[in-house]
Amino acid sequence: MNAIRFSSDHPDSYYAASANPHPRHPQLKGEVQADVCVVGGGFTGVSAALHLAERGYKVVLVEAARIGWGASGRNGGQLGTGLRKEVIELEPRLGTERTRALWDMAAEAMDIIKCRIDRHAIQCDYKRGNLLAATRRRHLPELAAEAERVATHYGYDGYRLLDKTQIREAVASDQYCGGRMDAGGGHLHPLNFVLGMARAALAAGVVMYENSVVKRVDWASPSVVETALGQVRSRYVLLCGNAYLGNVEPRISNKVMPIANHVLATEPLGEQRARELIRDDCCVCATKFVVDYYRFSADHRMLFGGGETYSFDEPPNIKEFVRKYMLKVFPQLQDARIDYAWSGQLAVTMDRLPHFGRLGNTGFFVQGFSGSGVVLTQLAGRLMAEAVAGSAERFDLFAELPHRSFPGGALMRKPLLVAGMLYYALKDRL
């Protein structure tokens, strides 16, 4: 795995350029005490810290770079209802009762987001609507079966099916033959959302340190989280670094694979042109294994994510790398100037469900959201706080999900994944 290069500022992106004012936090120096030490200042870590502080715990959060520096401040900002996998696929594996319990908690995660935005007045450009666009006719029966299943057995009626004519009216692209609109889903400015949560966590008493890379964790009692210049002694440690955790805890590193997604932002296109391209101002994601995902920002820029790579190194020209994917979907944007382009790592698991677990009696971790992290991280933070407080039943429903290690060990894991991804990328084109 390539070495992670942390920096003292957010990457140059549209999100960073349009971020709400936010404070810098000091570097950890010397020894501090806490009830809980949270490692990682992204969605999961900040969510967990806020939930714990609201329960009265003394919480210290340690971030290697800046709050929201990793995937939480770089992603597509898309919110989808449910789990990363369709329930019609999960029920045969997990059983109806267990799948329903997981689905209900995933739906709860969406409520957490809306509650946080309202309660803490987080200015993050939240909008409703998430469209899953089918690139092949063979995808349509599954979209319909899922919509029928969750409506009749899960009590969710937010899905609406679109035929070829309807999706062409909704999205000005000839790439799609149908789709499924999720009225309960939506999109937001992810960096401003995590910064808003961090502001609420600070008000609740959380102490935050930035530019403090964790070197190791001593799982004694109390546990000790060590950085280059300091340490945190705490009863509990929550590992929330996801793709950027590195080898801090080798026992869990082989369950996830960091992959890089790449996003661009065009110049502002104006509201009229934006609505001509995406009529209802929803976000859109395609039913491809190597996905295209896109939406408009509050100032009417096309935010387009496309292509995946398997290294911490960025493509030589991110703008051109992503632009070619955008023009396949919207050739009419040939004239649009690209103002920003950036990359970020996310962690995937073998079966694309998040990996929850324990490390002895004092440690908890969550990782591998596999592209569903904007929503499910909010649930993860709540469940980790519940587990620390002694009510781990809901955390354990996720922790009991079986997770396979990526094959090949440290040397072959990435080449084997690349080979597999190339296979699925080929299937996208067939």
Task: Name all domains of the chain by residue range, CATH numbers in brackets.
Answer: 128-185+258-348 (3.30.9.10)
Are 296 and 274 in contact, with CB atoms under 8 Å apart?
yes
Per-residue pLDDT, 259? 87
- 246: helix, coil or strand? coil
323 neighbors 303 (Cβ within 8 angstroms): no
What is the C-alpha separation between 41 and 22, in angstroms, rounded?
Answer: 14
DSSP secondary structure letter of residue 267: -
CA distances from 384 to 4, 50, 62, 236, 423 (A): 26, 11, 16, 11, 36
Q: What is the pLDDT of residues 19-51, one digit of tens each?
A: 999 999 999 999 999 999 999 999 999 999 999
> Using an 8 Å Cβ cutoff, are 237 and 218 in contact?
no
151/173 Cα distance (integer angstroms): 29
Q: What is this structure's pTM? A: 0.94
Q: Is the dihedral of CA 381, 384, 388, 392 positive or negative?
A: positive
The 10s digit of each residue's pLDDT in 283-333 is: 999 998 788 999 999 999 999 998 876 555 678 899 999 999 999 999 999
State the pLDDT at residue 313: 64
Contact 159, 181 (CB under 8 A): yes
Each residue's pLDDT, cut to its tens digit, for the chain (430 residues) gives 347 889 999 999 999 999 999 999 999 999 999 999 999 999 999 999 999 999 999 999 999 999 999 999 999 999 999 988 899 999 999 999 999 999 999 999 999 999 999 999 999 999 999 999 999 999 999 999 999 999 999 999 999 999 999 999 999 999 999 999 999 999 999 999 999 999 999 999 999 999 999 999 999 999 999 999 999 999 999 999 999 998 899 999 999 988 889 999 999 999 999 999 999 999 999 998 788 999 999 999 999 998 876 555 678 899 999 999 999 999 999 999 999 999 998 899 988 899 999 999 999 999 999 888 899 999 999 999 999 999 999 999 999 998 988 876 555 555 655 555 554 444 444 4
What pLDDT does 316 receive? Answer: 85
DSSP track, 74-86: TS--EE-SS-SS-
**What pLDDT is stored for residue 340 in this prediction?**
98
Burial class (CB in 10 A: 0-12, 13-18, 19+), 319: middle
* Phi/psi of residue 279, nearest 5 degrees: -55, -45
